[in-house]
Amino acid sequence: MSEAGVIHGLGGPAGAGYGRPVDRDRVDTSHGPILYLDDITVSFDGFKALNRLSLTIDRGELRCVIGPNGAGKTTMMDVITGKTRPDAGTAFFGQTFDLTRLPETEIACLGIGRKFQKPTVFENHTVFENLELAMKTDKRVRPTLLARLSPEQRDLIARTLKTIRLEGSEDRRAGSLSHGQKQWLEIGMLLVQEPELILLDEPVAGMTDAETAHTAELILQLEGAHSIVVVEHDMDFVSQIARKVTVLHEGSVLAEGSMPQVQANERVIEVYLGR
Ligand code: ADP
Ligand code: MG
């Protein structure tokens, strides 16, 4: 990788000319994965929450990350989003965006969308307004809270409503939705910002079986158009969406492969599945 293509986000004329080989605002995956983590270590008072973690995600890939409590799953997402700085290691979004140096707000603008476990929708606004607000606070575009939606934006909201199974519920107050519907609405609030990479931390926690099954369908629908990393404990759910699965344990990758492969792995059975 040439140094010229690396944007450190530390001020300076990052977007200014000089034959820059990449579009500053688009992730460049022409020669590799969309997410590249190598040898990442994060220590909290000497305790290694991540211990030389290496993991790559291809563009359009759907990856499940499982592992016992405390394995480092959320910390991994914190590193990807710039919330936590690793003590050592490399983290790149595409080939040019150094996630260990860019500010958290800038990383969000690059097209990495994260959904935390607890839904954080605006309860007193309607479903439609929630999507509209999410779209208009998209930091990649000028602040346009008072502007009317363009036909393209309306179309995107309409498509998103369909994807998140809230078509026909756009005028409902978000506070009146079920827990599962709020989770979907929050996924919709990510989708209207058209992220390249979506990080979902325990998306089916607290959902009914029917809601969990719908969420699996929803995530499978997003596959290909987005790269998705799903962190989840619920093994039935993971089985429904699993392609390649990564098992984390004590801050490192314990095993990686198809669901049947990791389920048959002796070390995985020992530390996780066999409990
Ligand atoms: P997971 O999401 O897999 O359950 P986490 O990434 O939340 O695991 O946590 C990994 C380990 O790091 C845990 O032992 C946790 O207690 C510890 N940890 C996480 N964040 C902090 C922090 N800010 N300060 C101290 N320890 C932390
Ligand atoms: Mg966690």
Ligand 1 pocket residue status of 74, Cβ below 6 Å? yes
- pLDDT attached to residue 141: 55
| Averaged confidence pLDDT in the chain | 87
Phi-psi region of 170 (alpha: psi -120 to 50; beta: other; left: phi over 0): alpha
Whether 64 is in a domain gets the answer: no
Domains contained in the chain, number: 1
Domain-located, residue 187: yes
Q: Which among 29, 41, 32, 24 is positioned nearest to 79, based on CA atoms?
A: 41
Residue 249: inside a domain: no
What spacing in Å lies between the alpha carbon of 103 and ligand 2's midpoint? 22
Whether residue 129 lies inside any domain: the answer is: yes
The whole-angstrom distance between residue 189's C-alpha and the CA centroid of its chain comes to 13
Q: How far is residue 165's CA from residue 218's CA, in Å, rounded to a whole number? A: 9
Q: What is the 3-state secondary structure (H, E, C) of 100-143?
A: CCCCHHHHHHCCEEEECCCCCCCCCCEHHHHHHHHHHCCCCCCC
In a domain, 261, yes or no: no
For 101-151, write each residue's pLDDT tens digit: 999 999 988 999 998 877 789 999 999 999 999 987 655 555 555 678 889
Nearest-angstrom CA–CA distance, 159 and 256: 34
68 lines ligand 1 (CB under 6 A): no
Q: Which ligand is nearest to the CA of 78?
A: 1
CA of 231 to the centre of ligand 2 (A): 8
Taking phi first (over 0 means left), then psi (-120 to 50 degrees means alpha), and beta for anything else, what does residue 79 get? alpha
Q: pLDDT over 90 for what percent of the chain?
A: 72
Token pair listed for 71: 């394995």
Q: Which ligand is nearest to the CA of 75?
A: 1
Query: Token pair for residue 264?
Result: 């048959």
Range of the domain at 149: 118-194
Decide whether any atom of ligand 1 lies within 6 Å of the 49 Cβ.
yes
11 is a domain residue? no
Per-residue pLDDT averaged across 198-222, rounded? 94
Does the beta carbon of 180 lie inside 6 Å of ligand 1?
no
Does 123 map to a domain?
yes
CB-ligand 1 contact for 251 (6 Å cutoff): no
Is the minimum distance from the CB of 259 to ligand 1 under 6 angstroms? no
pTM of the model: 0.87
Would you tell me how many other CB atoms lie within 10 Å of the CB of residue 210?
A: 9
